[in-house]
Structure 1
Amino acid sequence: MPTAYQDLDEPSQVELLRGVADRAAPRFGLAPTEVRLVLHGFNTTFRLDTPGGPVAMRVNTNSLSSAGTVQAQQAWQHAIRRDTDVLVPDPLPVDGGGYLALVRSAELGREVMVTASTWLDGEDLGTVSTPEQCRALGELMATLHEHAASWEPEGHHRFPRLTGTLFGDPDVLTAAVAQDRELAALVSAAGQRCEAAFERLADEPVVPLHADLHGGNLKWHDGRLAVFDFDDSGLGPPALDLAICAFYLRGGDDDHGPESAVRAGYAARRPLPDLATEDAEALVAARQLLLANSILASTTAGQRADAAAYLRITGDRLRHWLDTGRFTRTLPRG
């Protein structure tokens, strides 16, 4: 009996998905000479070397987005490339129209969504660190929000509404921590506080958000930021994008400077959202719960192996936030 995909080791998973990428390539008019792994994470990205230049191909292994949502995300990305000075990869169309190929995989037991785009030069940033990069990130975010507000507003319904702590994803976290009374209590208390903040934001104006602006989805090349990976995009208040970004910035020795620089960059182009500090912190902390839930739901070998340790980290971070009122990924020693 074949081994289930989620039980394969990482090299075996990658080779299986490489086959999916090979079968998807002709749908985008591509004849790659080489297919190389870029990242095997929640989803999986390959670099395809072609006679026309390199192409990034994304195999949506764990994505919970619908086909319609992926099409909307790719269409917005193309419009950003066309209408603004923000550097983004340009999605490649498939034969028959649209930006999405569906490739049947017997091993996964379903059709897999595949997208492709032009290649972005430069190395992944990894960590947004310098004041210049942080300010540029704030300016980039504000530009995305301005564009989103005016871009095809009648089509905004094609994006999911990013409501609630888990954005509507199935809750696997509650059951996973049920046997650990202390951790279960922390997750429950944090979840209630986060849900209350989302409820208070329910009537705020919403626009399409990138919803995953961190160094792993950014490149820094010739003094400019480029952004990719729009898979988490959905409708939400602009304050949510700032909070998600803040989650990733709060992880170094300086837990205030980078975030302040991002906010300054944002304010230079667009007024900052008016949000109570308590609600802003809850939106930052909500990212911790969402990520823990996503790792538990993932079929990717490396993430499954890390899940137990990440739950312990989650508990420590939530405890600190509930005790102090400020969320940080870097906890005090001792």
Structure 2
Amino acid sequence: MGRVDMEQEVRAAVERAISAYVADTYGLTGSVSTVVKGANWTFVVRDGAQDRAFIRLYRAWGRPAADVASEMAMLRAVESTPALEVSRPLIDHEERSFSAFQLPDGTKRLLGVFAPAAGRELAATPADWYRAGVALSHLHRQTGLTKLAPNRELLSGTRDKETLAMIAERSPNVAKDISKSLDVLVGAGANEPIGPTGLCHGDVRPMNMRVQDERVTFFDFDDCGRGPQWLDVAAMALWLETITSGDVGALWKAFLAGYGVDVSDSFVRFVGRMVAAHQLRILRFLFDYCELDAALWADVLNRAEMVVSRAAQGRLRAFAT
């Protein structure tokens, strides 16, 4: 049996086991299939064409049970508004928001089941980006959620140094260039935190939102924690760097208008620093949980160096128009 055939067989066996488990513990029936098999393994439960639930097998390390319990408690406490909803955890027959699931190979992973996010994908239109900004502001303003969030700071100077050391092992030149760009940002005062602090989603991007009428539903809070909330704002600016066409400036302005922040020189500098910080967070996740070949690593690191350089020079596409 070839490698691909073995992987397909393993995947099918896990999907069958998941199907039986959620039917027994949640009363969820329907077809179970893989959506994304990465560090976290995500499945969907479908009844015909209707999505009934999404299942997350948490990564094998890096998310202790206490972290997951905090994430679930926070999600259950979010107050819905006309602009905001979140994908909430479902509760099983034993009143648990998550549990330990044993895979067919005998290993155990934490498992959570979430309600589907209603609506369509976020479109690259000012109207949708305005809605996203409003929804994010409604999430950030619920200050009581901060104490429920996983007890981890999303930004850490020590962790950044560790990540730079990991980069240097693969590309000393890239690590050196990123360090220089970070020094430029710090020298410009961008390291001075401004804006609100509290709960951060941790991975705000269009793929983690759904839009229905005027309401945006956020999901995938796997990276949530505490920190400067403009890190979430900057995550959208980082995503805009990947757009190859369209009016990036108009999308960014609409998003900021929805969020309700005035653009100032200090805001631009700080968002640039947060873009660089979020880029380092993404790289650290790849180092810790993903296997990439040498060519792909070279491409990822070179792109990251380019983004951080643009942030340091104030040339992010979001601010260019």
TM-score range, shorter chain: 0.7 to 0.9
1:256 matches 2:246: no
1:239 matches 2:230: yes
- Contact residue 145 and residue 207 of structure 1 kept, 8 A: yes
Residue number among 179, 184, 204 corresponding to 1:188 in the alignment: 179
1:120 matches 2:120: no
**Counterpart residue number, 1:65:** 63
Deviations 1:222-269 (A, max 9, x none): 4542221111111122222211222113333433221111110111xx
Deviations 1:167-225 (A, max 9, x none): x5894552343353321212333455677878532x97522121222111012334542
- Structure-2-length-normalised TM-score: 0.79
Letter in 1 for 2:134: E
1:26-175 matches, within 5 Å, as 26=23, 28-49=25-46, 54-61=52-59, 64-80=62-78, 83-85=80-82, 86-105=84-103, 107=105, 110-125=107-122, 128-147=123-142, 149-151=143-145, 155-156=147-148, 158-164=150-156, 168=159, 171=162, 174-175=165-166
Pair 1:10–1:255, CA change in 2 (3 A):
farther
Pair 1:25–1:179, CA change in 2 (3 A):
closer
For 1:18 and 1:165, the matched residues in 2 are separated by 40
1:242-321 matches, within 5 Å, as 242-252=233-243, 253=245, 254-267=247-260, 275-299=266-290, 306-321=296-311
**Counterpart residue number, 2:216:** 225
CA displacement at 1:117 relative to structure 2: 1.4
Residue number among 7, 18, 39 corresponding to 1:21 in the alignment: 18
Deviations 1:269-293 (A, max 9, x none): x788994432221111222222122
For 1:104 and 1:20, the matched residues in 2 are separated by 9
Percent of counterpart pairs with the same letter? 21
Query: Quick check: 69-78 or 11-20, which moved more?
Result: 11-20
For 1:28 and 1:192, the matched residues in 2 are separated by 52
In structure 2, list runs of 5 or more residues that go unmatched: none
> Counterpart of 2:216 in 1: which secondary structure?
strand
For 1:303 and 1:74, the matched residues in 2 are separated by 35
Letter in 1 for 2:64: S
- Contact residue 74 and residue 148 of structure 2 kept, 8 A: no
> Counterpart of 1:200 in 2: which secondary structure?
coil
- Structure-1-length-normalised TM-score: 0.76
CA displacement at 1:135 relative to structure 2: 0.4
For 2:256 and 2:264, the matched residues in 1 are separated by 10
Q: How many residues align?
A: 313
For 2:161 and 2:270, the matched residues in 1 are separated by 23
Pair 1:20–1:194, CA change in 2 (3 A):
farther
For 1:55 and 1:99, the matched residues in 2 are separated by 13
Pair 1:89–1:175, CA change in 2 (3 A):
closer
CA displacement at 1:321 relative to structure 2: 3.7
In structure 1, list runs of 5 or more residues that go unmatched: none
